[in-house]
Structure 1
């Protein structure tokens, strides 16, 4: 019994928004047993590993992020996470929006939103800057808080942003064309019943071709993609002030409990925690 309580106590998390940048979320957590499902964010994910080690799939890569490393996920990039060592891992994460990162990049003389081709970055100076910015986000000194955050993101963009500014595109032309049809259907019908036959009908192909197209385009099953889109829709509705039950139904979840389980599995926090940070 004592061991079970110790494990539960080690699973902690706190989410809040930066006082100077309302479109930037912050998360601090310590996990030993939790495993993230594959999911995406409309924002960047910049995670400083503070203890232990995390194993992460980012896109088609599987990497280890030990203490001191920085994991960077571009917007809309699929990723998950689990412990990479017996003791689990602790981390501090930033979720800056695309407009925020684009504006900072432009101030630095760069065009467009920055793209990061390296999933794991080992840079002691950057790690220290991110730690200071994350800790400083709760400071009453707004100028210091703002300055440390901008300094950390500048160091990240200048030191590790892809100079080409372009992410690698999906080259499977047929699958790519059909995937755009699947995506349009899913986004327009999240609140209704979606299955392989409906997706196949949208593109005029077989159900087996739908599965192959999803694998070629994003390396996931149609079910995983639909679940992620529903989670994204529910998150947006919660931010707009919808109640949890209403957000769950509007996004296509069976009920609030279904949303809560999915939210926890993908985000490491409850929908209630996410709502309170708004």
Structure 2
């Protein structure tokens, strides 16, 4: 391996059967091979030259190369500087499940080996980065949105487009609120919200946007921060408050706290401890008058 080249592989925390890969290559050359999964590669810089089945393509930065399962393909630099890319390896069952959820019947097939779609590229980049987020709901939603876009816009579509129910968003949102409030300390994902309202995961995302203009992940994070703040005010330790509110650990709470409150949970706790107690404050006020 060239020491100047970088590569990293991991599994998506919400979808164990989906692998992810991030790499930068200058000299590496793939020999012809296949995968049992789909291969969805977002080229982020440089250019890759790829043979996919009978197609020989050049994929510059911003394009997406798609390889169907079991199709032979290779890859090498298409420019002097090589190429960098972010790749998804979703399984056939996962892609089939998403296709069915949006109105299809079978595993999607992609006849175009290279796609130029700036919205899809942005969605894939967000989903790839979201796979390393400590916010599981955000990571799940961003991946589903990206793969839905790919399937509906670029798959050889033989199914109907999913029916979009926009009439009951407010009523369903009350169900989501109740579930989130009662289950903050446990793992909350889109499927649990969807099951509560008997809709698809994509309908859940639309309901939140229509009802409050936020993603489910943003709403859940806000509720967890409010729960953690309340527990800290009551004297619970920071680590215990983080776990009780549904954060992975204290550092996860701290990052979210700084991002939304502009301070650490420790600063918030110290501020509460240094504030005058209600009775003492009342006595001081009464004494002045």
Q: Specify which of 122, 128, 145 is matched with residue 139 of structure 2.
A: 145
Q: 1:11 aligns with which of 5, 9, 12?
A: 5
Q: Does 1:89 align with 2:79?
A: no
More contact order relative to length (CA 8 Å, sep ≥ 6): 1
Q: Tell me, which stretches of 5 or more residues in structure 1 are unaligned?
A: 1-6, 166-278
After TM superposition, give the deviation of residue 164 of structure 1 in Å.
4.4
Count how many residue pairs are aligned between Structure 1 and Structure 2: 159
- Distance (whole Å) between structure 1 residues aligned to residue 62 and residue 112 of structure 2: 15
Structure 2 Cα separation of the partners of residues 18 and 145 of structure 1:
8
Partner of 1:43: helix, strand, or coil?
A: coil
CA displacement at 1:8 relative to structure 2? 3.1
Task: From 95, 98, 102, give the equivalent of 1:108.
Answer: 102
| Match of residue 40, structure 1, among 34, 48, 59 | 34
Q: Shift in Å at residue 12 of structure 1?
A: 0.9
Is it true that 1:163 corresponds to 2:157 in the alignment?
A: yes
In 2: Cα distance, 1:143 partner to 1:94 partner:
18
TM-score, normalised with respect to structure 2: 0.54
What's the CA shift for 1:57?
Answer: 0.1
Cα deviation, residue 10, structure 1: 2.8
Cα distance in 2 for partners of 1:70, 1:145 equals 20
**Rg larger for:** 2
Could you tell me how far apart the structure 2 residues matched to 1:17 and 1:119 are? 24
The equivalent residue for 2:244 is: none
Aligned runs of 1:176-255 on 2, under 5 Å? none
**Stretches of 4+ aligned residues off by more than 3 angstroms:** none
- Give the CA deviation at 1:9: 3.7
Q: Name which of 60, 83, 88 aligns with 2:54.
A: 60
- Give the distance between the partners of 2:81 and 2:146, measured in 1 at CA: 28
CA distance in 2, matches of 1:50, 1:43: 21
Corresponding residue for residue 43 of structure 2: 49
Q: What CA distance in whole angstroms lies between the structure 2 residues aligned with 1:95 and 1:128?
A: 18
- TM-align CA RMSD: 1.2
